[in-house]
Structures are given as C-alpha cells and as structure tokens.
Amino acid sequence: QVQLVESGGGLVQPGGSLRLSCAASRSLFSFNVMGWYRQAPGKERDLVATIVSGGSTNYADSVKGRFTISRDNAENTLYLQMNSLKPEDTAVYYCRVVGNLVNYWGQGTQVTVSS
C-alpha cells in the first residue's frame, strides 16, 4: 500500500507560478513511471507530464515550455513546477505512480488560475 500526499495547489493570478508536490510513502525506485494529470469540471482527465525511471520527461502540448516535472528520490517526492499559468490550466491535478504490478493515484489538489 502506497500513500501519495499532494500539496501546493491554490489560487494564483494569470502569469503566476505554482509548485505542486506529491510525496510517496516509499521509495520512488519502486516505480517505472510517474506523472501528473489534470481534470477540469465536466472534462476528461488528461495527461500533463510524465517522468520515467531514467529521467526522461514528456509533456502535453498545452504545457510545453511552461511546466517542468521532476523528482527527488531521496525525499520520495514528485514535483510539478508550473509557470506562466493560464486560466485554462484551472483543474484538479492528480499525481500518479506506476510500477510493474501497481498503479496508485493521489487524491488531487485544486489549482485555480484567476485574477
């Protein structure tokens, strides 16, 4: 059983920045892929960014150049740095970790971009 504790969400003005954190209850070495997803009201849950065990990253076109996914293995924590935020980034953000036989989701953190 793995607990994923998300933090860092909140209200920010357009053009501002937020840093989301996802702290896992065990080593990130247990997982092959880690990622962030988001879901706006009435819309599908979409992939935002992923990072694999080797460090390679991938981003949705809508966030390329603005968001950065990273991890700190020593702290068992996944991060999403979000810059130049837009109103359309408003959503509940979820972290996800995937191993060979497991798939865990965080409970989500609300990000609202509004003036």
- CA-atom Rg of the chain in angstroms: 13
| pLDDT tens for each residue of 61-75 | 999 999 999 999 889
- Supply the pLDDT for residue 27: 85
- Supply the pLDDT for residue 30: 81
Q: Which of 67, 112, 94 is nearest to 5 (CA)?
A: 94
Residue 37 CA to residue 62 CA, distance in Å, equals 12
Asked if 53 contacts 29 with a C-beta cutoff of 8 angstroms, the reply is yes
- Supply the pLDDT for residue 18: 98
Q: How does residue 8 score in pLDDT terms, banded at 50, 70 and 90?
A: very high
| pLDDT tens for each residue of 97-114 | 998 888 999 999 999 999
Q: Which SS3 state, helix, strand or coil, does residue 75 take?
A: helix
Beta pairing partners, 72: 77
- Supply the pLDDT for residue 28: 83
Q: Which SS3 state, helix, strand or coil, does residue 29 take?
A: helix
- Supply the pLDDT for residue 97: 95
| pLDDT tens for each residue of 20-77 | 999 999 888 888 999 999 999 999 999 999 999 889 999 999 999 999 999 998 899 9
Quote the strand ranges of 40-99, DSSP E: 46-52, 57-59, 67-72, 77-82, 91-98
Burial class (CB in 10 A: 0-12, 13-18, 19+), 18: buried
